[in-house]
Structure 1
Amino acid sequence: MPNDKDDVLAPEAIAAHLAALPGWTEADGWITRTYRTNSWKGTLMVINTVGHLAEAAWHHPDLTASYAWVEVRLTTHSAKGLTEKDFALAKKIEEVVGWQPGLEGGALEGTPTDPRFAYIKHDR
């Protein structure tokens, strides 16, 4: 039985998905996003977050990391290209890693502005 979520997307569909994911780019059958962090601690927090989401989704990215950045790369290996799975996971990663509760108001105030506590450099 065919599985639509594993069908390789047409270029137009890829472009439409990317329009909704600022910061993500496409090249050579992969979508990629680099998250800038303030330190190794922040880098590990991003890696662990992406790892948790990927494992829960059973769809696993390639990660490259250094002291103050993490690159996330997604493709569907079994389909040999980009599928709905890649964009669904990218969207969830973006929602969680990019979450800034201090901007929402409410009980959760967000990370203090003190650099000792900063961990990710938000581009919004």
Structure 2
Amino acid sequence: MTTTDEPATHERVYSEAEVTQKLQSDLPHWFLEDGWIRRKFKTSGWKGTLMVVNTVGHLAEAAWHHPDLTVSYAFVIVKLCTHSAKGITDKDFELATKIEETIQWQPNKQGFKGQPSALEGTPNEDPRFKYIKYD
């Protein structure tokens, strides 16, 4: 029996049809294109864009799974693919889900553990404070 220092990683790579079906059911704002799952987050300007980038960066680093980002004044495009597996794996779906939950969180609408939230949420009616264009 031989051993190596590298762990055996046999990540399940989803077929294109499986990815499309999973996105439709679990992540409807994400789509498959050129071997990546992608999502465009629209912001209200540079401040919001930087907040999205920093949030995605924190989640990606904590997960140790790093997306490609396209960053512009009023949007961020997040692209996920598991390079080591050469395809879309559970890592991509899990990180996409966490990104989606965090960026789209609106405490004044979702509450906390089924209770009304003590947090009022960003005042989106006032352009001085608005930063995310929620779906």
Deviation of residue 3 (structure 1)?
3.6
Deviation per CA, 1:42-99: give whole Å up to 9, x if none: 0000000000000000000000011000000000011111111000000000000000
Shift of 1:2: 4.6
Distance in 1, Cα, partners of 2:106 & 2:117? 12
Structure 2 alignment gaps of length 5 or more: 1-6, 111-115
Shift of 1:106: 1.6
Structure 2 contact 31–39 (Cα < 8 Å) conserved: yes
1:114 aligns with 2:100: no
Instruction: Find out whether 1:18 has 2:23 as its counterpart.
Output: yes
Question: How many residues end up aligned between the 2 structures?
Answer: 122
State the shift of 1:17 in Å. 1.9
Moved over 3 A (4+): 1-4
Could you list the runs of 5+ residues in structure 1 that have no partner in the other structure? Answer: none
Residue of structure 2 in register with 1:91 after alignment: 97
Q: Percent of counterpart pairs with the same letter? A: 61
TM-score by length of 2: 0.85
- Whichever of the two has the greater Rg, that structure is 2
Higher relative contact order, chain-length normalized (CA < 8 Å, sep 6+): 1
**Per residue, is there more helix in 1 or in 2?**
1
Match of 1:43 in 2: 49
Q: CA deviation at 1:11?
A: 3.0
> Secondary structure at 1:116's aligned position in 2?
coil
**Alignment RMSD:** 1.3
TM-score by length of 1: 0.92
